[in-house]
Chain A
Amino acid sequence: MKRWEFRLSGSGGQGLITAGIILGEAAVIEGKEVVQSQSYGPEARGGASKAEVIIDDKTINYPKVVIPDLLLAMSLEAADKYGSEIKENGIIILDSSMVSGFKNEKAQIIEIPITKLAKKEIGKTFVANIIAVSALVGLTEVVSFVSLKKAILSRIPKGTEDINLKALEIGWALIK
């Protein structure tokens, strides 16, 4: 398989690091090599936050994303900050409930109202990260739906299975 570099960006509190861990754990389930890292400011909420995930068959030396194959941007600040760094013909997923008027000629841009969907369909914005990671996997097929589902179920708090699986289905249905 090819090496995949993902950058999941937004603001602190949106669950992007959790989304990165879930993606990474799905890849571990499939026996792939994974490194997940993050950068965030000293704030607990707000501020720019990004999680990075590299998935490969081979050993991963440098643990940070150089130029992502896929960028997820879930805030205007993140889209502005990271939107220009993308591989030629890469994919940018935008949360259109947060970002508008964004352009990048190099990449395929997928606009999804991720946060609005989480609120409207599930009533909880905190599952937006699951909708996002589901759409990301649907687009790239970097791991299977089954592995992703397994990874989500092993990571989320007990009692939230139904809403998280619904979020998974919503994200998947948007792409497939």
Chain B
Amino acid sequence: MSPKARLIQGNRACAEGAIAAGVRFFAGYPITPSTEIAEIMSEELPKLSGKFIQMEDEIASMSCIIGASLTGKKVLTASSGPGISLKQEAIGYACMTETPCVIVNVQRLGPSTGGPTSSAQGDIMQARWGTHGDHPIIALCPSSVYECFTLTITAVNFAEKYRTPVYVMLDEIVGHMREKVVLPDADEIEVIDRKRPTCPPEEYKPYQIGESLIPAMADYGTGYKWHVTGLFHDETGFPSGNPQVIDAQFKRLMAKFKKYEDEILLWEETETKDAEILLVAYGSTARSALEAVNILRTEGIKAGLFRPITIWPFPEKVLKTLAGKVKKIIVPEMNYGQLFLEVERVCKDKTQVSGLFKVDSLPIAPDEITAKVREVL
């Protein structure tokens, strides 16, 4: 056996990934099925001179990590449905102020308190549009314990590099299950730090835009004085009601994500080269879909799997190309059809898209997917 092989939970892999990426500040409020992440951070961060704070609620937790991020820390919070709903206002503030932060959502069945220990994928659209107003956002979706580790690192790197909130969207199955993993060593992990100003403090303009479209971010308490506001603001950081300033800020925020889209969009294809039936699935459901592909292939049915790893922004160009080559697309999801809407929007001119939706607290089993494939064939 490999000396490094361990049987660990997805939630633990997520916490360890955050630490490996340099997260040294966690604020949160415990909620099933995400609680283990807070527990592990509370044990591990003090050993690394980091800080763990259990706040009075989720709103405060989200605000707290934004504050810590402004001082230069890499930050994380973790929650589930009801808690993520509460965080939304502050997430919008992080979008507007371009504050790097990572929010882990271990999805449970909703709405409301719903099913605390039941798996679901019902927060996909909330991740995209949970906070009000137009805003770009990044959401990553792991399918395995190993990927909980690697994608949390990616999420922290994206947050730092692009100055944005990033969601890591686990589901209860991926968060709670244990799998054998051999995690990479620290020297095999790429860690990205945010760009900081190189000018003297008196010359610093916090939202001065260079070619990168990503303004340099000064740590509070280092002599750089700047104003942070959820109002539209100009390059000094102070509020502005000037339509040209507002328009420019909006356009730049959108252009920033477009500029780095090639780096942000992650996906995986399995058996898609000659596929006639394409499954589009993510999170734990992608594992059922992969098993379904294996079963269908042994029966001579040419099935393949497209697994978006970055679900927001949605990797639509590559999927559109694939859609032009297949006869049918099926989207299995543990919700009433959320990413399905996106797949349908992208692919409906190219091929027929059907959904397989399940919201009874149970996972979608491979034979349910194979049955659906045989039905549409």
Interface residues of A (CB under 8 A from B): 21, 24-25, 27-42, 60-64, 66
Contact = CB atoms under 8 A, between A and B. Distances in A.
Interface string B296-324: 00000000000000000000000000000
Given A24-B7, A29-B1, A30-B1, A37 B173 contact: yes
B117 A39 contact: yes
Interface in B354-377: 363, 365-367
A40 B363 CA distance: 14
B173 A63 contact: yes
Nearest to A37: B177
Contact of B5 (A21, A31, A39, A66): A31
Interface of A is mostly: mixed
B7 A63 contact: no
A32 B284 CA distance: 21
A24 B32 CA distance: 23
B34 interface: no
Given A36-B7, A37-B176, A61 B287 contact: yes
Contacts of B112: none
Contacts of B366: 61-62
List of 3 A-B pairs having minimum Cβ-Cβ separation, nearest first: A61-B291, A37-B177, A36-B178
A38 B180 CA distance: 16
A76 to B, nearest CB: 22
Contacts of A42: 32, 116-117
Given A61-B291, A63-B173, A28 B365 contact: no
B338 interface: no
Main secondary structure of the interface of B (DSSP, over half): mixed
B11 interface: no
Nearest to B293: A61
Given A61-B290, A63-B284, A63-B287, A36 B177 contact: yes
A37 B7 CA distance: 11
B363 to A, nearest CB: 6
A33 B290 contact: no
Interface residues of B, number: 24
B198 interface: no
B178 A24 contact: yes
Contact of B365 (A35, A40, A62): A62
Contact of A66 (B116, B178, B365): B365
Contacts of A66: 365, 367
A28 B177 contact: no
Interface of B: 1-2, 5-7, 32, 116-117, 173, 176-180, 284, 287-288, 290-291, 294, 363, 365-367
A24 B181 CA distance: 12
15 contacts: A31-B2, A34-B7, A34-B179, A36-B178, A37-B173, A37-B176, A37-B178, A42-B32, A61-B287, A62-B288, A63-B177, A64-B173, A64-B363, A64-B365, A66-B367
Contacts of A35: 177-180
Contacts of B291: 61-62
B287 A41 contact: no
A33 B180 contact: yes
A36 to B, nearest CB: 4
Contacts of A37: 173, 176-178
A34 B366 CA distance: 18
Contacts of B363: 64
B7 A40 contact: no
Contact of B1 (A28, A38, A64): A28
Nearest to A55: B180
A128 to B, nearest CB: 22
A40 B179 CA distance: 19
Contacts of B294: 61
A61 to B, nearest CB: 4
Contacts of A40: 117
B282 to A, nearest CB: 14
Contacts of B288: 61-62
B287 A62 contact: yes
Contact of A38 (B2, B6, B176, B179): B176
B287 A28 contact: no
A36 B180 CA distance: 9
Given A31-B5, A41-B117, A62-B288, 17 more contacts: A24-B178, A25-B7, A28-B1, A28-B5, A28-B6, A28-B7, A33-B180, A34-B178, A34-B179, A35-B177, A37-B176, A40-B117, A61-B288, A63-B177, A63-B284, A63-B287, A64-B363
Nearest to A51: B178
Nearest to B5: A28
Contacts of A29: 1
A60 B145 CA distance: 12
A116 to B, nearest CB: 30
Nearest to B115: A42
Nearest to A31: B1
Contacts of B177: 35-38, 63
